[in-house]
Structure 1
């Protein structure tokens, strides 16, 4: 009898052995899906599925799974939109290929698929070097090496306005350099106006870049090397050296001129001032002497004898104050006194006619009380009397 035929005491399981206890049927797939749907609906606040009659879903994709999928897609879409812009960079956001906005460094967000972001390094110092031979205004050929240092100033213009901004920079550099060199002489390029040429090239190059709206800014232009063609370079080097020597000699001459002329003018001014001071002093002394003589004449007319005596004493005082003197008293003494006249008159010229006798180192006395020129008021007789007194009382040194 078949396992599902009516009759029999117990239902039979085709997968199991016969006569086992309980229901051994496999789980229903529809029932499992229904239970999963109910749990998801309960999780999101929905109601449990279906009344007691139906054991199967109403057909189609379960609503709970669709909601989970949508949430996962939204979260993934949002997370995919975050991106980081470096501190040295600036970002340009395009929406459907059209410029939308600029973004600053840091964490930013864009709508994936709809928007696109491009970053530009605006802090990088870029450089370009050109080295070419060019024709000058005086139909000479010079070799010029120029370096251009630049940065990105406007990211939007750099990315969107022109197709190849750095290629435009290269062509603009060559054009500006040729224009400036072609308007200058060879001597200007090689030596005389190098700085002016550098500034003119920078100004013209920046004008070209702004006109083409490249978004680039020139930081520095370095005129690295300028030289004559190889075939005549030695001759030009000799000429340049000779001109440098000429400039050096001129500067040395100017320096010497600037040092000598002020010194001579200072000496002339000093001599003039000294002469003026001497003139003032002499005139003042003469005027003083004249005034004193006038006063003296007036006094002399009032008292001739007193004035004459006073003039005599003033003259003696002036003479003896500037001469060396020795005072001796030889009366009443038999002792020998040694006078170091050589030390006393050292460096001085004697004014008395008795200096020869005094330098012989002889003489006697106890104290100085009489001058060797005493009695000079009555002429030569005073000096003769003093000499006789001294010679009569001297003691020879043996």
Structure 2
């Protein structure tokens, strides 16, 4: 308790000394913003001028440095006069004095959607074309030619029409490779005039008028019909030859068969006749000298044989000679043996 009492008066003294210092710091804090703002207002002109100078410096620095991309070339002009061609990379220029024109020198396409051109055989065809070119002389292309892309397109159209005028309709429609090469050669003759290089030329479509297409289709149909007629005629001729050959061979076979049958029949008749003659001779030899009855029998046999092979029957003795043609019978006496 005593110790606490001994210390408490000192604490009171120290607390009394700290309070004035806190009050002073609070007053300083309240006055600091006012003083800073007052200083800014006092030096505002100088600060604004400095900011303007900094912005101007960075603007000039940015305007004096430029970049040319790999597919570009820069046309450097100073005071309107051509200075040189800038290659890809970073470059410097004098602001407000120099001018740089960036030009794309990579391959670029061009198309002709539809062009009416007259062929050498007086047929108007509708032609479409695809072509590509690149800029090889930026100075000529950008500085010596006004609207260069339009002029190049017009030059391609004129050259295409001129080449079509020297070709027939059939060549334009079916000889595309030769036509493209001839057109590319004609375009390459004027490349230096425009500062370009033509890379590709390709005909996309070449069609004649509708009436010509109809005539072509009719001609193709007529040709197909003609070829079909020729094929049918050849087939019919082959079939006729085949039928003739078959009929000829059949006739030859029938004739051969008839000939063989006739020969066989003749041989049969000959053999039969020989057999009959041999039999008759055997009978005659057997009856020879056997008397009157035998002779009469022989006469009957002879009459039967002659009846089969002749119109006359010759008898002997009192037998008449019979005319089988219908004439009157004649009696012939025969000597008795």
TM-score (norm 2): 0.47
Greater share of strand? 2
Bigger RCO of structures 1 and 2 (CA < 8 A, at least 6 apart): 2
Greater share of helix? 2
Which protein shows a greater Rg?
A: 2
TM-score (norm 1): 0.40
